[in-house]
C-alpha cells in the first residue's frame, strides 16, 4: 500500500516551514525529519507513524485510535501508530504531528 498523499499534504501544511525539515521515503511511507530525526510519517500502512518520548508511550496508547508501533512482532515504545480515524480533523492531526516534531527537536541533530 502506498502512503496517503492527502495526509502527507496535510502534514506539509502544518510543518512545511519548520527549520531543518526534510522529507524521506522510509518504512513504506513518507517521513518528515527534523534535523535528521524522524518526527512523523504518512504511513504506507495507513494513518500516521510518529516518534514520541518512550517514557510517555504507556499513557499515549490510551488515546483513541493510538497504539504502539509493532515491528517484527515486537511493540516499540517511543513509536506510535495513529489510525486514519484519529486524524480526520486538522486539530486531531495537529495534536499528533506537534508531539512528534517536539520530540524530534529534543534529539541531537544527525
pLDDT at 67: 97
Helix (DSSP H) and strand (DSSP E) numbers for the chain? 3, 6
Provide the pLDDT for residue 19: 96
Note the pLDDT of residue 28. 86
Centroid of chain to Cα 46: 11
Kindly report, residue by residue over 48-69, the tens digit of the pLDDT.
999 999 999 999 999 999 999 9
Q: Which of 97, 79, 71, 70 is nearest to 7 (CA)?
A: 97
Low-confidence ranges of the chain (pLDDT < 50): none
- Main-chain dihedrals φ then ψ at residue 66, nearest 5 degrees: -115, 140
Domain range for 84 is 5-106
In degrees and rounded to multiples of 5, residue 101 shows phi and psi of -65, -45
pTM over 0.85? The answer is: yes
- Cα distances (Å, whole numbers) of residue 3 to 12, 19, 33, 44, 74: 14, 24, 16, 4, 22
CATH number of the domain enclosing 77: 3.90.1150.30
Residue 27: per-residue pLDDT? 79
C-alpha cell of residue 85:
480515524
Q: Return the pLDDT at 71.
A: 87
Number of domains in the chain: 1
Q: Give the β-pairing of 48-51 and 37-42.
A: antiparallel
Amino acid at each position: 500500500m502506498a502512503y496517503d498523499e492527502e495526509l502527507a499534504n496535510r502534514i506539509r501544511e502544518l510543518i512545511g516551514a519548520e527549520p531543518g525539515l526534510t522529507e524521506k521515503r522510509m518504512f513504506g511511507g513518507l517521513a518528515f525529519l527534523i534535523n535528521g530525526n524522524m518526527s512523523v510519517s504518512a504511513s504506507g500502512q495507513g494513518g500516521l507513524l510518529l516518534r514520541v518520548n518512550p517514557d510517555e508511550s504507556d499513557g499515549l496508547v490510551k488515546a483513541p485510535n493510538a497504539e504502539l508501533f509493532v515491528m517484527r512482532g515486537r511493540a516499540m515504545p517511543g513509536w506510535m501508530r495513529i489510525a486514519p480515524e484519529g486524524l480526520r480533523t486538522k486539530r486531531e492531526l495537529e495534536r499528533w504531528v506537534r508531539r512528534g516534531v517536539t520530540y524530534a527537536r529534543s534529539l541531537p541533530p544527525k
